């Protein structure tokens, strides 16, 4: 198990290093921020001074080393637009996005697991068709549409929940449903098919031979095996929700990471862009790491094979 | 009689077509006895076993008649909850493939203890003690330590013993063994069969032994039922069957399983053709199409069961 943790952690470090190069390169390739910061009629001298204070007149290699050493000590530069440390901006927004992703994931799981179980147990019946219909609907409707409809009906017509912002727990309900529903389809379909496979297996037959009630057969013997395949997808979706909920954050005026990234790109605020991408990358890598450990926890066979077979 | 199966019928419903997988099967087993059920793949052996335990694959398969009397109670008439009390407790089963029969994410201790807890309310420590006792009974070395192991940490032969420990955990009276040694290599198979015989003797366990291996039948079984295309075509005490098989299918089976090889250029005997699909309409004897002694009557009318004394019976027009 220790070997597993060490080797995966090392892989993650390499991935992050490669990513830092890509981020650095892409943000430099997106255009000169100086042009956006100075007045149109600024002198060449004024431009050069600004370029010098920003460190943009040095070689790319030098800039990269500065960037990397800064990044390692938690300094990702100052936002060009807001003149505040880029990392502070990111962390302010990050917790907002993280909470939204977490509640959306909760919505997704509480919908996907029972739907998948029902669909698998009553395979080929109306219940199965209904469950799959609900799931596919969530995936095929664009999130901005679902979001707008929820705002119009629930907030507008019924006046039940806030339409946007982040004032109380009630503000979480609509964006979480909008985001969560989108994720349900993939998770539910994967879980349904792996459940069907597991329910057909010999060990489930043996459990029934022991006289285990069907309820326990499904929720204990089958579901834990079936969940293994869903964990990876869950991790991917969670990272996705965390970092790319731009549309939903815009519709619900949610001060999250997605909108910060969008604004930073629009204004060529490259320290912020770098910070957003880098922090997101660290998160994605960490989530993948957690997923791997979850895997090992769920499946004793992985625990063993990865630790050198002893 | 402990178990008496009468005229059991099991049907499959697939794609709007109905097929009869088990077609009027009757047999019985008593305490301490072993009944062998032999036949080629697809002859309905396993489906017969699953019909007894009422664990047919849903929603395709269903019981379509007959009786399964266990100590006089017709299992087919019980509700699900009543039936569950029989499974594992009175009647248990070991499966063919030990590599897939154990739940990979639960320790074998969990899996054996669950079998005990299903039918007996006992303190935790007592359940554990019984689980260790079961592993020891099946001769799994270092039993107490191995309760915390997962299935993948065992070899195939050991896994089959664990499956045996689970099946026997609640001291069932009847064990259905569905090809339990087919997936094991010869030496491991031998050890397993010895073990099973010894446990049977100690507990006067009744066993239904499903196999296509006639050598195993000769070694394990008191009586044999030969199945072909969902029907029992011959049943006899084991010795009588090997000495004097009466049904042409049994004769052919014996000849292909225990061939006489006069010289090295002789061709091995095999039965021509394949058994009929369960979805084909049935007229006459199901073996007629492959039978060397077929007569016009065989194709029109199903032969009756003909008793020949000493529990030997076969259904063939040749004997009428």
Size of interface A-B (CB pairs under 8 A): 75
Q: Tell me if chain A has a CB within 8 Å of the CB of B82.
A: no
pLDDT level of residue B247 (50, 70, 90 thresholds): very high
pLDDT for A244 equals 66
Q: Which domains does chain A have, with CATH numbers?
A: 86-306 (1.10.3720.10)
The reply to whether A212 touches chain B by the CB within 8 Å rule is yes
Pairwise pLDDT comparison (A58 vs B291), residue with the higher score: B291
Q: How far apart are CA A198 and CA A218, in angstroms?
A: 9
Residue B306 — very low, low, confident or very high, per pLDDT cuts 50/70/90?
Answer: very high
pLDDT of residue B166: 94
- Helix/strand/coil (H, E, C) string of A201-258? CHHHHHHHHCCCCHHHHHHHHHHHHHHHHHHHHHHHHHHHHHHHCHHHHHHCCCCCHH
Cβ separation of A221 and B103 shorter than 8 Å? Answer: yes
Residues 7-46 of B with CB under 8 A from A: none
Task: Tell me whether residue B67 is in a domain.
Answer: yes
Q: Return the bridge partners of B200, or none.
A: none
Of A211, A298, A301, the CB nearest to B152: A301
Query: Is residue B37 a part of any domain in this protein?
Result: yes
Do residues B115 and B88 make contact, with C-beta atoms less than 8 angstroms apart?
Answer: yes
Q: Which region among A187-191, A271-275, B89-93 has the lowest average model confidence (pLDDT)?
A: A271-275
As given in the structure block, the two tokens for residue A34 are 């100086």
A124 contacts B100? CB cut-off 8 A: no
Q: Does A27 touch chain B (CB under 8 A)?
A: no
Percent of chain A with pLDDT over 90: 21
CA distance B220 to B180: 12
pLDDT digits (tens, 9 = 90+) for A185-240: 889 989 999 999 999 999 999 999 999 999 999 999 999 899 888 888 888 888 88
Name the B residues in 103-142 with CB < 8 Å from any A CB.
103-106, 114-115, 118-119
Q: Alpha carbon of A219 to those of A117, A213, A302: distances in Å?
A: 9, 10, 22
The answer to whether residue B116 is domain-embedded is no
Q: B178 φ, ψ to 5°? A: -95, 95
Cβ distance B118 to A209 less than 8 Å, yes or no, reads no
Q: Which residue of B has its CA nearest to A309?
A: B153
In a domain, residue B271? The reply is yes
Mean pLDDT of B44-65: 91
Q: State residue A23's pLDDT score.
A: 82
8 A C-beta contact, residue A253 and residue A165: yes
Q: Would the pLDDT of A308 be above 50?
A: no
**B281 touching A (Cβ < 8 Å):** no
Task: Look up the ipTM and state it.
Answer: 0.89
Q: Parallel, antiparallel, or unpaired: how do β-strands B174-178 and B67-70 relate?
A: unpaired
B42 is written with which tokens? 């697809």
pLDDT of residue A283 exceeding 90, the answer is no
Q: What is the mean pLDDT of residues A238-265?
A: 82
Judged on CB neighbours under 10 Å (0-12, 13-18, 19+), A178 is buried
Handedness of CA A212, A213, A218, A224 (dihedral sign): negative
Rounded to the nearest 10 degrees, what angle do helices A170-199 and A223-244 cross at?
140
Q: Return the pLDDT at B206.
A: 96
Q: Which burial class, exposed, middle or buried, applies to A267 when counting CB atoms under 10 A from its CB (0-12, 13-18, 19+)?
A: middle
For residues B77-90, give the mean pLDDT.
Answer: 93
Residue A308 touches partner B, C-beta closer than 8 Å: no
Question: Chain B residue with minimal CA distance to A310?
Answer: B153
Q: What is the extent of the structural domain holding B236?
A: 3-79+224-314
Domain membership of residue B272 (yes or no) is: yes
The number of domains in chain B is: 1
**What's the whole-number average pLDDT of chain B?**
91
Best probe of the A interface among B56, B92, B104, by most A CBs < 10 A, is B104
Judge: A300–B100 Cβ closer than 8 Å, yes or no. no
Predicted pLDDT at B256: 83
Residues B99-116, mean pLDDT to the nearest whole number: 94
Domain of B252, CATH number, reads 3.40.50.300
Cβ neighbours of B92 in A, within 8 Å? 209-210
Distance of CA B241 to the CA centre of its chain: 18
- Binning pLDDT at 50, 70 and 90, where does residue A258 land? confident
CA distance A270 to B163: 62
For A135-190, how does the pLDDT look when each residue is reduced to its tens digit (9 = 90+)?
Answer: 888 888 888 888 889 999 988 888 888 887 777 788 888 999 998 988 888 899 89
pLDDT recorded at residue B7: 95
Is B36 a domain residue? yes
Q: Give domain status of residue B85, yes or no.
A: no
> What pairs with residue B13 in β-bridges?
B18
Residues 62-101 of A with CB under 8 A from B: none
Alpha carbon distance B218, A211 (integer Å): 32
Do the chains contact at B103 and A213, CB–CB below 8 Å?
no
pLDDT value for A310: 34
- The interface residues of chain B toward chain A in range 162-191, judged by CB-CB distance below 8 A, are 163, 166-167, 169
Work out the pLDDT band at A249, boundaries 50, 70, 90. Answer: confident
**Does B174 have pLDDT greater than 60?**
yes
Say if residue B185's pLDDT is above 90: no
Average pLDDT, chain A: 85
Q: What percent of chain B has pLDDT over 70?
A: 100
A304 to chain B, minimum CA–CA distance in Å?
A: 9
Question: Span A59-85, mean pLDDT?
Answer: 84
In the numeric block, which tokens belong to residue A308? 């050198």
Chain A residues in contact with B104 (beta carbon < 8 A): 203, 225, 299-301
Q: Residue A137's pLDDT is what?
A: 87
Segment A102-133, tens digit of pLDDT: 999 999 999 999 999 999 999 888 999 999 89
pLDDT at position A305 is 54
Decide if B87 and A299 are in contact by the 8 Å CB cutoff: no
Residue B87 lies in a domain: no
Comparing A1 with B238, the larger pLDDT belongs to: B238
Average pLDDT over residues A55-70: 84
Going by pLDDT thresholds of 50, 70 and 90, the confidence category of residue A309 is: very low
Contact A209 B55 (CB under 8 A): yes
């Amino acid at each position: 198990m220790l070997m597993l943790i060490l080797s995966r952690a090392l892989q993650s470090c390499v991935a992050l290093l490669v990513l830092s190069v890509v981020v650095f390169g892409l943000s430099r390739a997106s255009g000169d921020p100086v042009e956006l910061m100075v007045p149109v009629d600024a002198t060449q001298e004024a431009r050069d001074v600004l370029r010098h204070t920003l460190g943009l007149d040095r070689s790319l290699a030098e800039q990269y080393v500065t960037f990397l050493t800064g990044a390692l000590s938690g300094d990702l530069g100052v936002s060009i637009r807001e003149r505040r440390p880029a990392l502070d901006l990111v962390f302010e927004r990050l917790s907002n996005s993280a909470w939204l992703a977490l509640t959306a994931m909760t919505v997704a799981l509480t919908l996907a697991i029972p739907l998948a179980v029902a669909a698998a147990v009553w395979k080929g019946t109306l219940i199965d068709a209904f469950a799959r219909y609900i799931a596919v609907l969530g995936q095929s409707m664009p999130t901005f549409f679902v979001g707008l409809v929820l705002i119009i009906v629930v907030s507008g017509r019924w006046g039940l929940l806030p339409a946007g912002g982040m004032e109380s727990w009630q503000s979480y309900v609509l964006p979480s449903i909008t985001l969560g529903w989108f994720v349900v389809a993939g998770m539910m379909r994967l879980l349904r098919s792996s459940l069907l496979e597991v329910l057909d297996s010999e060990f489930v037959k043996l459990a029934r031979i022991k006289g285990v009630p069907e309820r326990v057969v499904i929720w204990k013997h089958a579901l834990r095996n079936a969940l293994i395949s869903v964990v990876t997808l869950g991790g991917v979706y969670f990272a996705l929700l965390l970092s790319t909920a731009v549309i939903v954050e815009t519709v619900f005026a949610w001060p999250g990471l997605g909108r910060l990234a969008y604004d930073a790109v629009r204004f060529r605020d490259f320290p912020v862009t770098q910070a957003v991408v880098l922090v997101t990358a660290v998160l994605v890598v960490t989530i993948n790491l957690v997923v791997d450990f979850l895997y090992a926890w769920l499946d004793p066979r992985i625990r063993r094979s990865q630790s050198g077979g002893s | 009689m402990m178990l008496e199966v009468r005229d059991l019928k099991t049907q499959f419903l697939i794609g709007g077509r109905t097929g009869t997988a088990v077609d009027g099967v009757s047999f019985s087993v008593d305490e301490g006895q072993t009944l062998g059920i032999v036949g080629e793949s697809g002859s309905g052996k396993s489906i017969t076993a699953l019909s007894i335990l009422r664990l047919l694959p849903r929603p395709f398969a269903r019981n379509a008649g007959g009786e399964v009397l266990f100590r006089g109670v017709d299992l087919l008439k019980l509700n699900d909850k009543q039936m569950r009390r029989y499974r594992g407790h009175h009647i248990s089963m070991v499966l063919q493939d030990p590599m897939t029969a154990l739940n990979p994410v639960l320790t074998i201790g969990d899996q054996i203890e669950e079998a005990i807890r299903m039918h007996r309310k006992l303190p935790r420590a007592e359940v554990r003690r019984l689980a260790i006792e079961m592993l020891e009974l099946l001769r799994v070395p270092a039993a107490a330590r191995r309760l915390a192991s997962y299935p993948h940490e065992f070899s195939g032969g050991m896994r089959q013993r664990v499956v045996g420990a689970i099946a026997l955990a609640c001291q069932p009276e009847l064990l259905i063994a569905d090809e339990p040694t087919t997936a094991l290599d010869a030496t491991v198979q031998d050890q397993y069969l010895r073990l099973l015989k010894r446990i049977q003797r100690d507990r006067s366990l009744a066993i239904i032994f499903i196999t296509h291996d006639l050598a195993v039948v000769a070694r394990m079984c008191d009586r044999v039922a030969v199945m072909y295309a969902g029907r029992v075509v011959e049943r006899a005490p084991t010795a009588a069957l090997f000495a004097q098989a009466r049904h042409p299918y049994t004769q052919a089976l014996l000849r292909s399983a225990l061939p006489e090889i006069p010289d090295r250029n002789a061709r091995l005997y095999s039965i021509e053709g394949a058994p009929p699909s369960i979805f084909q309409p049935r007229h006459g004897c199901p073996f007629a199409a492959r039978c060397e002694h077929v007569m016009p009557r065989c194709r029109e009318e199903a032969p009756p069961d003909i008793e020949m004394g000493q529990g030997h019976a076969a259904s063939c027009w040749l004997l009428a």
